[in-house]
Chains A and B, each alone.
Chain A
Amino acid sequence: MLKLEHLKKSFGGVAATRDVTLDFADGSLSAIIGPNGAGKTTLFNLITGRFPPDTGRILLAGEDIAGLSQRRIVRLGIGRAFQVASLFPTLTVSEALAAAAQAHQHRETVLRSPFPLATTLKHGDEIMELLGLTRVAGILSRNLSHGDQKLLDIGLALALEPRVLLLDEPTAGMGPEERWRMIETVQRLWRARGMTLIFIEHDMDIVFKVAQTVRVLSYGSVLAEGTPDEVRTNPKVIEAYLGKSAHGTSGQGAAA
């Protein structure tokens, strides 16, 4: 579904992404891990067109999307949620989701009918149901709890009915219990929607339990990839990333 070939990106001489080649199968659930500054978020920024790669190709279902505008890439079916929830503070949850759905349906400039359009409202309601946000439908985005804000951020991306969904640290800033609830929700929507899902995560317990495949980035390159078990026992990974917590206990996630 999504293939990265020899991606390179430098910022003023500092290489953030060096020759990354990765393949994400259709309908897979993958995790990207790596220490701070490994280039994980940069990789998401490249895929979503925040900035173009210096060289290399990004293939979405075989079509090269490298260098296209962010807006075009979104329309082609890559959705993204952010590390720090990026919301519309003065819209309620149901308004925000209906507004996102109308953008997806190319109806964001409709002047004749009142907001929300019946079809977009239904679409939004389905997402609220899926993410368990129905109970906060009438609450302004800025008044939501941290966890609900992260869920709404994912919901906005889901409104685009993406083929590929990128989640940048969906559990960032959450307590242990809340993390597991969040990751269960992520798994649930991945099964419900059958899309290709890629998430960045620091909590190793979550990564190894949930992901089908794990990619490890370090200093902008791919250090290792494979199933959770393969990655866990990979000596390079143990040395470079898991370091001191590698022997047996994998609970210590690096600080977000």
Chain B
Amino acid sequence: MTSRWRDLGLAGLGLVLLLLVPVFGAPPAIRDFIMFGMAYGLLAMSLNLLIGYTGLVSFGHAMFFAAGAYAFGLAMQSGKFSIPAAFVLAIGFTALMALIVGAICVRLNEIYFAFLTLAFQMLFYNIILGWVSFTGGDQGLMGGIPRPKFLGIDLADRTQLYVFCSVAFVVCIAILRQVVTSPFGYTLRMIRDNQERAAFLGINVTMVKLACFVISACIAGVGGILLTLFVSGAYPNFGFWTTSGEAIFMILLGGSNVFLGPLAGTVILRLLNDITVSYTSHTELVLGIVILVLVLGLRKGPLDLLAERWENRRQAAAQAIRDAADKDAAKGGS
């Protein structure tokens, strides 16, 4: 109950920190790094709502990232919408798509769910590639995304764009936090832990999974919108399977059992990428080695490791309470 205020306070603090970056005149490279990080961070964070909290390993999450990006970009290029209207429209489109794809996929479990999401993603990717007259095919949405002023905000200005993206990002993270700490979030954990028992407590597992799938897709869609605003375009590789794979990497690198783990993973992945790329063209090799070390060595993300330590201490405390109670009972009994 008080943790609600703590979370809101932390969200506010995070936003202030993000907004301080341009105030202190950070070099554009750092600002760009943060903008990319926010877009991909939302992709990874939203995917972890499925993977980490619900146990639904989706291989096709990037399709919603691309759906948000393309729907927003196309709406803006049509010239008929303001930025807020296009924003809402793009999220609506993403939600509708997630509803349809999800309704088919969430009935399946494990590997079947994973592969079906992958299949839908490839379908979506090929539609983008094939429908050249509408999406620009492999060239992506060309000619830039117009950014007309709204409510006195001018997103053509780098600083204002940065502030806009920061606010949208923090709001999305706060929404995700709200979801995982709500009763709904605990229903997701029940489904992850033991789907059959959850159903046996009267929970409509399919509907809850579907709702989770749609919420997660919408957040990924916002990530896609932010990226589109940032790069002033949308490209098919936003929705290619490697982008989904990257999001899974981010979760692995950070940790799936800690709320902000995927975000940490996003930062680690992008740092690794940016650092290695200046020394070698074999960045994938470096990434591959890091993943191998994590998977074979730690068997979990670095943040998971910290969380586990913390959990172990709490468990030891809880077990001490039990042992004391049992001792008392034994004494009273004899």
Q: Which residues of A contact B (CB under 8 A)?
A: 48, 70-71, 74-75, 80, 86-92, 95-96, 98-100, 102-104, 107-117, 120, 135-140, 143, 156, 159-160
Q: How far is the CB of B149 from chain A (nearest CB, A)?
A: 34
| A160-B201 in contact (CB<8A) | yes
A residues in contact with B184, CB < 8 Å: 108-111
A residues in contact with B200, CB < 8 Å: 48, 70, 74, 80, 86
* Shortest Cβ distance from A74 into B: residue: B202
| A140-B315 in contact (CB<8A) | yes
| B318-A92 in contact (CB<8A) | yes
Whole-angstrom CA separation of A111 from B188 in the bound complex: 12
> Of B187, B192, B197, B325, which one neighbours A156 at CB under 8 angstroms?
B197
B21 interface hit (Cβ, 8 Å)? no
> Of B202, B322, B326, which one neighbours A75 at CB under 8 angstroms?
B202
| A90-B189 in contact (CB<8A) | yes
B residues in contact with A108, CB < 8 Å: 183-184, 187, 203, 208
Q: How far is the CB of A175 from chain B (nearest CB, A)?
A: 15
* Shortest Cβ distance from B183 into A: residue: A110
A91-B186, A103-B203, A159-B201 as given contacts; A114 in contact with B196, CB under 8 Å = no
B residues in contact with A113, CB < 8 Å: 182-183
Whole-angstrom CA separation of A112 from B178 in the bound complex: 8
B residues in contact with A95, CB < 8 Å: 186
| B182-A110 in contact (CB<8A) | yes
B271 interface hit (Cβ, 8 Å)? no
> Of B1, B183, B321, which one neighbours A109 at CB under 8 angstroms?
B183
Whole-angstrom CA separation of A100 from B196 in the bound complex: 13
B residues in contact with A143, CB < 8 Å: 315, 319
Q: Can you report 12 residue pairs joining A to B where beta carbons are below 8 Å apart?
A: A70-B200, A89-B194, A108-B184, A109-B208, A111-B184, A114-B1, A114-B4, A114-B181, A136-B318, A139-B318, A143-B315, A156-B201
> Of A98, A114, A156, which one neighbours B182 at CB under 8 angstroms?
A114
A71-B204, A102-B183, A109-B184 as given contacts; A88 in contact with B319, CB under 8 Å = no
| A135-B321 in contact (CB<8A) | yes
A residues in contact with B1, CB < 8 Å: 114
A138-B314, A160-B201 as given contacts; A111 in contact with B182, CB under 8 Å = yes
B211 interface hit (Cβ, 8 Å)? yes
A residues in contact with B211, CB < 8 Å: 109
* Shortest Cβ distance from B191 into A: residue: A88
A residues in contact with B197, CB < 8 Å: 86-88, 156
Q: How far is the CB of A60 from chain B (nearest CB, A)?
A: 15
* Shortest Cβ distance from A102 into B: residue: B183
A residues in contact with B192, CB < 8 Å: 90
> Of A71, A88, A116, which one neighbours B194 at CB under 8 angstroms?
A88
A75-B202, A88-B197 as given contacts; A115 in contact with B314, CB under 8 Å = no
* Shortest Cβ distance from A96 into B: residue: B190
| A135-B202 in contact (CB<8A) | no
> Of A87, A109, A114, A138, which one neighbours B318 at CB under 8 angstroms?
A138
A residues in contact with B182, CB < 8 Å: 110-115
A residues in contact with B239, CB < 8 Å: none
A residues in contact with B278, CB < 8 Å: none
Whole-angstrom CA separation of A99 from B186 in the bound complex: 7
Q: How far is the CB of A74 from chain B (nearest CB, A)?
A: 4
B193 interface hit (Cβ, 8 Å)? yes
B residues in contact with A111, CB < 8 Å: 178-179, 182-184
| B181-A103 in contact (CB<8A) | no
> Of A71, A87, A110, A139, which one neighbours B202 at CB under 8 angstroms?
A71
| A135-B322 in contact (CB<8A) | yes
| B322-A139 in contact (CB<8A) | yes
Whole-angstrom CA separation of A239 from B314 in the bound complex: 54
> Of A86, A91, A104, A116, which one neighbours B196 at CB under 8 angstroms?
A86
| A90-B193 in contact (CB<8A) | yes
| B186-A115 in contact (CB<8A) | yes
> Of B185, B202, B203, B319, which one neighbours A115 at CB under 8 angstroms?
B185
A residues in contact with B196, CB < 8 Å: 86
B155-203 with Cβ < 8 A to chain A: 178-179, 181-187, 189-190, 192-194, 196-203
Whole-angstrom CA separation of A91 from B197 in the bound complex: 13
B residues in contact with A80, CB < 8 Å: 200
B280 interface hit (Cβ, 8 Å)? no
